[in-house]
Amino acid sequence: MGPPHDGPWLDDAAGRLIRPYTVSGGRTRPTAQLDLLSQVRTTGTVPAGYLGPEHTLALDLCEAPTSVAEIAAQLKLPAVVTKVILSDLVDCGAITTRAPDFYHNPTDRSLLEAVLDGLRRQL
């Protein structure tokens, strides 16, 4: 499978051919409570009806537990648009969510250094 937005949705010279909020039908508020660190995963339920190509791509990314932030990055969409898409999938029973574990202090220096080290290794 190629990059998420090849084909008619992306032009090499112009970039994205549709505005991100068009993908969510102009909606800016998700119906499900989602944090950037929330984990989402498919349930095996097939959504009834057509949801759109971004919904299908998001669903494919949720085969294993994946954070909302990671899905937004893979879809190359703003986080709020991704949350609306994922909310649609939650509403139809196609994915389930789990709130982030906050047993770690998100401003803990050692945690932030570990994240920075991991990012540096990716570059």
pLDDT tens digit sequence for 34-57: 888 899 999 988 888 778 888 899
For residue 14, give both structure tokens: 């112009």
Distance of CA 101 to the CA centre of its chain: 18
More confident residue, 17 or 113: 113
Confidence of residue 19 (pLDDT cuts 50, 70, 90): low
How far apart, in Å, are the Cα atoms of 121 and each of 24, 57, 113, 115? 34, 27, 12, 10
